[in-house]
Structure 1
């Protein structure tokens, strides 16, 4: 989510890049009018702080400007003739009557006066680097899609509708558990926040903070989930003949879904929407295995066949866990 500095620069129509602006904002020791003034000055923007003892004069101040509330700064973007204040708070557009706004308004504002020459330091270089970063994401997605397509074709999975459904469920599982992983790392993601709010506001956060969100305190269930769906997808695409083995492993996961729903409903009385979706995907995966006919080949599985599969899951789980711990240690 962009910082308030990035949002303010957008409102001021000052050329900048989100990455550099967000880094500049986080470099402030603490959020203050003085800190904002120094940051704006580095962009070539003059500013002025005002203390409005008479709150009725707020409507006379030209927007946009920063307003200090009791608990945070907001960006006032417009004050309509009928006295309604439109503003940005934590990246969200909000609006309320000026009387309601004034209840939390401290009376302190910061005006900014950009000029045509106002711009981010090293803007061209930062924009080039930001474009390169976006290009890398596009290349990553394209390469991933090509690998998926190649595996899909080489494994001749398109002949089996159940296998096609299985690939779709696995990809959905990777996406959902990826959002859960971001939540576990306390990384803000608007898409994850919107999905989590479907069943209960902040429900995902409460569940993931609970001790039961980890496997014996060693691995988080989000790590287990993203490992399970990603490795299952790779095995399915590279070794489609292993589908019966994957069906058995999927069946072994199903009892966990009952425990997870029971625990959320009766123990902590909190719903994690992403967790519930993950449980649903495990059952959809089970249905896809039935549809594909994978269970017909279960009788030919040898116990030795499980060794490389379990090793693949274990290796990836350990790698994901070490990566997660590294990210947490750096944050």
Structure 2
């Protein structure tokens, strides 16, 4: 069981459900990957509270029912998921690919005093009720396929043959797991469960000259796909008898490859590929099925039928190569993107770029949300009429909610009052009046309502007041003048304290730097999340 699999098992037990693919991508993109700090920061990115801490053996009973810890195993530290069973003296531990039950005394003998906890607060607790479209499509496809088999095939013996190419396709795809970038603990255990088993060694070997050009897994995929589709084509053209006659020839020609593959694994590489052996077993069972049910003689050979089968086999191989190439390119691009993100999300590099430009003096008329005395301030140059400003504003609100008193968000309006109509100007004046008279909560509600309706007349029906606009206009003119003086002609524009957010980065990158920025600008090692998460050896690579 991989660290990601154990982590998501932990999350499910805490009733927290997030996108596994997105988490894995963000985790692998972290500059500190694969450390526990990367896990912690990625969980923070998903707004899931977590932390590492020291726990002495005397306080062991106070731990929650499920937690991560480091156990001393010989000379290595192993990240382990621990789950308390109904009996307080028994614990289920998920360590590597093994799951076992141990006593408390046995667990404490390997105890290093370090745990990693995830908080299942009401804010992060969710339920897995969403059914993805692809799952619905898959279910409908399976139902449709079942009805197709039921009404199209009356001969059960012929229909039962179909399960062999289906199993063959699944095993062949498993053999090509690297192409799909697929990692599964059960499959890894099946392929590499002992010193004499290694699918990768066998499948990646090029000792046979033929496999330098054509991989064994490629041949098996094309072989079983051709079998599968030609079965239906033959049924549609009422030529299933010829189909099984062709199988006699095709399966016979595979025997030399099957036996050579077994010989090659046994005596050349001296390692077994369980997937390859399973595929060989399916081919042998298919041959027995065909020869037992349709005889061993070749009485109904038809050159047209045979040529059609060869054509679809080659077409299957060609199609697979096209699909395989696209997956390889996709994996390469993903790998390069992860490497770029690791470099890009390095806070030291980000800070160097951030502070390389001149500092600005932010106007005192900015609208302040959050803790006005916070060391870290995020200033957004914005406009309610800017379509691109909504998402950065909502992102800042999420950060403000997550970090509460440690952060301040300020808004500066960059709007030319002379170039907007009367209704827009009235709406803007009312918006600032709400903030000044009713506070930040009402102001945020009013702004959210605007982003929801985006209709000035509708908004004014709900938020229109009578007041002296001179003070409001003065504030807006001051903010506009500051923007013009500093040549800030576009919105949205973000500042971190007095420094403009680098153009080399997207505003969406901001959440990746917040933890480090809070620590950096606060300059308080006592609350440093790196200091907390790097307790002992817990931050070593996992």
Report TM bin, short chain.
0.7 to 0.9
SS in structure 1 at match of 2:124: coil
Please give the per-residue CA displacement for 1:100-124, whole angstroms capped at 9, x wherever unaligned: 656776543223333222247xx89
Query: Is the CA contact (8 Å cut-off) linking 2:191 and 2:274 kept in structure 1?
Result: yes
Give CA-to-partner distance per residue, 1:280-330, whole Å, 9 cap, x none. Answer: 21111111211232644x244255543322221111112112322322332
- Alignment correspondent of 2:484: none
Equivalent-residue separation in structure 2 for 1:43 and 1:260 (angstroms): 48
Which residue of 31, 35, 39 corresponds with 2:38?
35
Distance 1:212 1:147 in 2: 44
1:209 is displaced (CA, Å) by 3.0
User: What's 1:46 paired with?
Assistant: 49
Greater share of helix: 1
CA shift for structure 1 position 42: 4.3
For the structure 1 residues 270 and 59, does the alpha-carbon distance in structure 2 shift closer, same or farther, using more than 3 Å as the test? farther
Q: Which of the two has higher C-alpha Rg?
A: 2
Alpha-carbon distance change, 214 to 323 in structure 1, aligned in 2, over 3 angstroms: farther
Mapped pair 1:8 → 2:10: yes
Say whether 1:94 aligns with 2:100: yes
In structure 2, do the counterparts of structure 1 residues 63 and 225 end up closer, same or farther at CA, with 3 Å as the change threshold?
same
Task: Report the CA distance shift for 1:71/1:204 in structure 2 as closer, same or farther (over 3 A).
Answer: farther
Looking at structure 1, the residues matched to 176 and 28 of structure 2 have their Cα atoms a distance apart, in angstroms, of 23
Task: Using structure 2 for the length normalisation, give the TM-score.
Answer: 0.51
Partner of 2:220: 225
In structure 2, relative to structure 1, the CA distance for the partners of 1:15 and 1:321 (3 Å cut) is closer
Contact 1:244 1:301 in 2 (8 A): yes
Distance 1:138 1:249 in 2: 33
Partner of 2:375: none
* Distance of 2:6 and 2:30 partners within structure 1: 12
Residue number in structure 2 paired with 1:175: 170
What TM-score, normalized to structure 1? 0.78
Report deviation, 1:3: 3.4
Compared CA separation, residues 267 and 89, structure 1 to 2 (3 A): same
Structure 1, 84-93 or 223-232: larger mean CA deviation: 84-93
Pair 184,18 (structure 1): closer, same or farther in 2 beyond 3 Å = closer
Q: Distance in 2 between matches of 1:219 and 1:98?
A: 54
Distance in 2 (alpha carbons) for counterparts of 1:211 and 1:4 = 35
Q: Which residue of 2 aligns with 1:118?
A: 124
Structure 2: which 5+ residue stretches go unaligned?
235-239, 332-542
Alignment partners' CA distance in 2, 1:217 and 1:104: 48
Per the alignment, residue 321 of structure 1 pairs with 321
Aligned CA distance change for structure 1 residues 139 and 223 (closer, same or farther; 3 Å): farther
Task: Map 1:11-160 onto structure 2 (within 5 A).
Answer: 11-29=13-31, 30-52=33-55, 57-58=59-60, 60-68=62-70, 70-78=76-84, 81-82=88-89, 85-89=91-95, 93-96=99-102, 107-119=113-125, 128=130, 130-149=131-150, 152-153=152-153, 157-158=155-156
Contact 1:199 1:273 in 2 (8 A): no
8 Å contact 2:179–2:327 — kept in the other structure? no
Q: What is the root-mean-square deviation in Å for CA atoms of aligned residues? A: 3.5
Is 2:293 the counterpart of 1:260?
Answer: no
**The residue matched to 1:182 in structure 2 has which SS?**
coil
> Any gaps of 5 or more consecutive residues in structure 1?
none
